[in-house]
Amino acid sequence: MKTLRVEQYSAEKKVAWNAFVKQAKNATFLFDRNFMDYHQDRFQDFSLMIYEKQKLIAVLPANRVGNEIFSHQGLTYGGFILSRKIKFEKVLETVKESLKYLEEQNILKLQLKLVPKIYHIYPSDEIDYLLFLLNANIIRRDISSTIQINEALKIQSNRLEGVKKAVKNGLRIEKTTNFNEFWDKILIPNLLKAHQAKPVHSSNEIKKIAKNFRENIHQYTVYNDSKIVGGATVFETKKVAHIQYISADENRQQLGTLDFLFHYLIEKEFKDKSYFDFGTSNEAQGLKLNKGLLYWKECFGGRSVVHDFYEIEIKNHKRLNHIFI
């Protein structure tokens, strides 16, 4: 007997969606609609809400492209977001009924990029097992460099030499709400020069979402006298301080700019977090690694955490029938 109901998200459900995300066991503020909707004009939203009677037990942040669903292309990670008390059998029903719903909408494939486990508030690996049962294909795997703060490795001497340079040069760090200065003078020019690319968020977008998430989004800027020489934008969740953007000017080696900044962030600003996450060093859809960038992160004690991307054929929901003995 069917016990669950799957509905597509719509704006009038925003309050219910956000309330659920706040108590889910594998969610972060990225799934709050006040964050997700900053780029709603770029994506055809196809997020799902799964109910047991009138109780919301799971959501799937997602967008549609043709006959495929992605979770969600505008977010760093995603997948099925689950209530804290949900048991395995109900997770199985959630996934199965969601896939059946998508099949009715003529969707052929679902791509999931899972929430890395360092962000889980409570064990949430039910989806990993169900992906195995669904014969899902892993289509991409990135690695992010992460420090487990309470077991942190000693920062290597070459990074501490950079800190000494910065102190000698009189650098200072300021936590600020001025995102424009970092974006316009450092981040945008560097990305354009190195990768012919732009930041995922424009300066106006980051300001808007930072205003809505003052406890989560922070800008740290490094100055040499009054001149900006580098900075980092941090997305803070319950367990993780994640570096969303890092950049510095051409004198960063001589000044020790980024060594100085990250020594401060790790040793002082976020010393009480469970994890400090530098982010990925991948390019070419996960197939290449920026060796120099990876080495720099590892010198601070960062070690690899995977970001996995899976593709599910919708018709495979039948594989979830009759698995219990």
Contact 31, 21 (CB under 8 A): yes
pLDDT over threshold 90, residue 3: no
What digits encode the pLDDT tens for the residues 236-247?
A: 999 999 999 999
Would you say the pTM of this structure is higher than 0.75? yes
Distance CA 144, CA 85 (A): 29
Longest CA–CA span in the chain (Å) reads: 71
Average pLDDT over residues 278-291: 94
3-state helix, strand, coil in the chain (%, to 5): 40, 30, 30
Q: What is the CA radius of gyration of the chain?
A: 21
What is 4-142+307-320's CATH topology? Aminopeptidase (3.40.630)
Distance CA 248, CA 186 (A): 6
What digits encode the pLDDT tens for the residues 142-198?
A: 999 999 999 999 999 999 999 999 999 999 999 999 999 999 999 999 999 888 889
Average pLDDT over residues 80-90: 97
What digits encode the pLDDT tens for the residues 306-325?
A: 999 999 999 999 999 999 99
Q: Both tokens of residue 300?
A: 């601070």
Helix intervals (H) in the chain:
14-23, 33-36, 88-104, 126-133, 157-168, 179-182, 188-195, 203-212, 252-255, 257-264, 291-299
Contact 68, 312 (CB under 8 A): no
126-157: b (≥16 Cβ within 10 Å) or e? bbeebbeebebeeeeebbbbbbbbeeeeebee
Cα 137 to the center of its chain, rounded Å: 21
pLDDT over threshold 80, residue 1: no
What digits encode the pLDDT tens for the residues 27-61?
A: 999 999 999 998 888 899 999 999 999 999 999 99
Positions of CATH 3.40.630.30 in the chain: 4-142+307-320, 154-270
Average pLDDT over residues 266-279: 97
pLDDT at 23: 96
CATH of 154-270, one of 3.30.470.20, 3.40.1080.10, 3.40.630.30, 3.30.390.50: 3.40.630.30
- Which residue, 271, 195, 285, 269, is CA-closest to 232? 269
Q: Both tokens of residue 150?
A: 């309470």
Distance CA 45, CA 40 (A): 7
Calculate what percentage of the chain has a pLDDT beyond 70. 100
Long-range contacts of 293-301 (CB under 8 A, 24+ apart): 294/145, 296/159, 296/258, 297/145, 298/145, 299/155, 299/156, 299/158, 299/159, 300/147, 300/155, 300/156, 300/159, 300/262, 300/263, 300/266, 301/147, 301/152, 301/153, 301/154, 301/155, 301/266
